[in-house]
Each structure stands twice: as C-alpha cells, then as structure tokens.
Amino acid sequence: MKILNKIAYEATMARIEELLPLVDDNTPMSDKNLIELDLLSGLAAEYEEEHYPIGKPALVDIIKLRMYEMGLTQTSLASLLGISKSRISDYLNGRSEPTLQVAREMSVKLNIDASIVLGV
C-alpha cells in the first residue's frame, strides 16, 4: 500500500493527528490505535521521502550556523581556522571553496561533518 497523492497524504496526516493523543509510551503493542498509527506513520514517511526530499545542507549555511552558535565573528573565525578574514568572506559569499587543509580544520574546530565540508 502506498499514498498516491497529496489529498491522500493530507488525510493520512489528519488521521495521525487524531491518533497521537490516544497512544503513549505505555500503550500495549496490540492496541488498535497504536497499530494504525504505526502503519500510517510509515506510509506518510515514505510519501515525504519521495515528494519532500531533504537535501544536504550547504556548507555556507552550516558555517553561519556554527558562527552563531559559537558566538564567532568573521575575524574570530578566521583566527580560529588560521586563515585571513577575506578568505572567510570568500567562503561565506560563495566566491571560493576551502582547501583540503582548511576543510579539515573546519570539520574539527567547528564540528562540521567532513562530507558536508568536502561536498560529498
């Protein structure tokens, strides 16, 4: 069984919303509401993966997020990574990509997954 269109997806999501208050962590696995919720959730997830895929985040967005989280300015980020402020500006504006050495530093010092830094 598969959700075939947006109308069926929206109806499924509405039913999931109705079922959520009826189950909790203590609901027995044999409960009909829990079984229905589990089945509908799986169908909805499959539909979402096909119709609303989530791509990998862009490196620029992750750098900006880490700067915000860590309270870094472009100057302090440049110092942390051992590169010039203008090079940071180039990365943030999409004018250039980090070298392998800088990518490694970003991955370690900013805790950014290597696959995102390297764009793989």
One-letter amino acid at 45 equals: A
Residue among 48, 46, 22 at smallest CA distance from 35:
22
* pLDDT tens for each residue of 7-46: 999 999 999 999 999 999 999 999 999 999 999 999 999 9
The reply to whether CATH 1.10.260.40 applies to domain 59-117 is yes
Cα end-to-end span (Å), the chain? 34
* pLDDT tens for each residue of 89-98: 999 998 988 8
* pLDDT tens for each residue of 39-58: 999 999 999 999 998 877 78
Burial of 88 (0-12, 13-18, 19+ CB in 10 A): buried
* Domain extent listing, the chain: 6-51, 59-117
Burial of 59 (0-12, 13-18, 19+ CB in 10 A): buried
Q: Taking 70 as the threshold, does the pLDDT of residue 120 lie above it?
A: no
Q: Is the dihedral of CA 101, 102, 107, 110 positive or negative?
A: positive
